C-alpha cells in the first residue's frame, strides 16, 4: 500500500492546494514509444503519438493514423490512451483521450476506522492542430482539458502547448521547442529537443531538456531510435528524473529511468512493446497497436 501511495503522489500531485512551484504530471502517457524512449523524442517526427508532447511534429507522408495503447505502472496503476490524426494538405488535426486510473484506496473516518474505499484518477481530452510551413519548418498548438478526481472531489483545468520544429543538415537533424502553459499553476514548462540521424548507422539519437523553473540534471532525458529494418525498430533511453527512485528500501533495485522498447510493422499496422524502470518501485510495461495510412 505504501508503494501505491508514493507512486500515486509522484504522478498525481493533488486535486487541491497545488503549490505554485509544482507542475502536475500531465505527461504520463500510455504510448510504448514514449516510455521506450524514456519520455524523450520531442523532435522525433516519425512517431504519430509524439504529438502529445510536441504539437508541431508531423510524420512524413501521413494521411491518417489511429492508435490504442495501454501502460501498466507499478502498484496496479493503469493508463489507457486513444489517438487519431488526419492530414489534409499542409494541416494535420489530432484528437486523443488519456485515462489514468490509480486504483482503490481505503477510506477512514477521523478516528481511523475503515468506512469503505474510494478511487482516484485523471482524464485528459486532447486536440491539436499542426501545420507544415515549409519543408524545413512546422508549427503546432494543442489543448488539453484535464479532470482530476479523488473520491467525490473533482477538479478541472486546461493545458495549452505551442511547438515549433526545424529541420537542418539535409533532413538529418531536427530541433524542437515546446512551451506549455498550465492554468493550474504559475509555473510553466519548456521542452528543448534535438534528434539527429547518425550518418553511418540507422540510429536516431534524441536529447530532451525539460525546464520547470530551475536548471538541473533531472531535466535531461536521452533516447535512441534504431531502425533495424523496414518493419522492425528498437528503442532505448534514460530519464534522469527517475534516478531518485533507485533505492533498496522500496524493493528490488536496478537502474531507475532506463527504458527498452520494440516495434513491429506490417502493411501499416504496428505492434509496440516497451518497459521503463521506476527503480525500486517496479517497472512500467506498455503495449500498443496502431495503424498508419501514408501517401
User: Can you give the pLDDT of all 295 residues of the chain as single tens digits?
Assistant: 455 554 554 554 433 333 333 344 557 899 999 999 999 999 999 999 999 999 999 998 889 999 999 999 888 889 999 999 999 989 999 999 999 998 776 676 677 767 777 788 899 999 999 999 998 999 999 999 999 888 778 888 899 999 999 999 888 899 999 999 987 766 688 999 999 999 888 999 999 999 988 889 889 999 999 988 889 999 999 998 877 665 555 445 457 889 999 999 999 999 999 999 887 778 899 999 999 998 6
The C-alpha cell that represents 211 in the structure block: 525546464
User: Rounded CA gap, 57 and 55, in Å?
Assistant: 6
Main-chain phi, psi angles of 281, to 5 degrees: -75, -25
Bridge-based pairing state of the strands 203-211 and 114-132 = unpaired
**Between 3.40.50.150, 3.30.1330.10, 2.40.160.40, 3.90.1150.10, what CATH number should domain 2-294 receive?**
2.40.160.40
3-state secondary structure of 276: strand
Q: 75-89 in b/e burial notation, b at 16+ Cβ within 10 A?
A: bebebebebbbebee
Q: What is the largest CA-CA distance in the chain?
A: 68
Q: 203-219 in b/e burial notation, b at 16+ Cβ within 10 A?
A: ebbbbbebebbeeeebb
Q: Hey, how many other C-beta atoms are within 10 angstroms of the C-beta on 195?
A: 26
Exposed/middle/buried for 199, CB within 10 Å: 0-12, 13-18, 19+?
exposed
Q: What is the pLDDT of residue 16?
A: 36
Q: What is the pLDDT of residue 22?
A: 35
Query: Domain map of the chain by residue range?
Result: 2-294
User: Rounded CA gap, 239 and 258, in Å?
Assistant: 6
130 in Cβ contact with 57 (< 8 Å): yes
Mark out the alpha helices in the chain (DSSP H runs).
2-11, 32-36
Phi-psi region of 46 (alpha: psi -120 to 50; beta: other; left: phi over 0): alpha
3-state secondary structure of 7: helix
Q: What is the pLDDT of residue 191?
A: 95
Bridge-based pairing state of the strands 269-277 and 220-227 = unpaired
Amino acid at each position: 500500500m505504501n508503494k501505491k501511495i508514493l507512486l500515486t503522489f509522484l504522478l498525481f500531485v493533488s486535486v487541491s492546494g497545488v503549490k505554485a512551484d509544482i507542475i502536475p504530471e500531465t505527461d504520463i502517457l500510455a504510448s510504448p514509444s514514449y516510455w521506450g524512449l524514456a519520455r524523450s523524442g520531442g523532435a522525433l517526427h516519425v512517431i504519430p503519438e509524439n504529438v502529445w508532447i510536441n504539437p508541431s511534429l508531423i510524420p512524413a507522408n501521413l494521411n491518417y493514423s489511429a492508435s490504442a495503447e495501454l501502460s501498466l505502472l507499478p502498484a496496479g496503476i493503469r493508463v489507457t490512451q486513444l489517438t487519431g490524426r488526419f492530414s489534409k494538405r499542409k494541416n494535420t488535426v489530432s484528437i486523443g483521450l488519456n485515462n489514468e486510473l490509480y486504483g482503490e484506496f481505503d477510506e477512514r473516518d477521523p478516528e481511523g476506522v475503515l468506512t469503505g474505499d474510494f478511487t482516484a484518477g485523471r482524464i485528459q481530452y486532447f486536440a491539436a492542430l499542426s501545420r507544415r510551413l515549409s519543408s524545413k519548418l512546422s508549427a503546432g498548438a494543442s489543448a488539453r482539458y484535464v479532470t482530476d478526481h479523488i473520491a467525490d472531489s473533482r477538479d478541472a483545468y486546461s493545458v495549452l502547448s505551442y511547438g515549433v520544429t526545424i529541420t537542418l543538415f539535409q533532413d538529418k537533424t531536427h530541433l524542437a521547442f515546446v512551451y506549455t502553459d498550465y492554468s493550474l499553476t504559475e509555473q510553466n514548462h519548456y521542452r528543448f529537443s534535438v534528434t539527429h540521424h547518425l550518418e553511418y548507422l540507422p540510429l536516431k539519437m534524441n536529447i530532451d531538456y525539460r525546464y520547470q523553473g530551475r536548471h538541473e540534471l533531472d531535466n535531461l532525458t536521452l533516447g535512441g531510435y534504431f531502425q533495424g529494418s523496414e518493419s522492425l525498430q528498437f528503442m532505448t533511453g534514460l530519464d534522469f528524473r527517475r534516478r531518485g527512485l533507485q533505492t533498496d528500501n522500496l524493493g528490488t533495485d536496478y537502474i531507475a529511468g532506463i527504458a527498452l522498447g520494440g516495434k513491429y510493422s506490417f502493411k501499416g499496422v504496428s505492434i509496440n512493446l516497451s518497459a521503463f524502470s521506476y527503480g525500486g518501485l517496479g517497472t512500467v510495461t506498455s503495449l500498443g497497436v496502431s495503424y498508419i495510412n501514408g501517401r
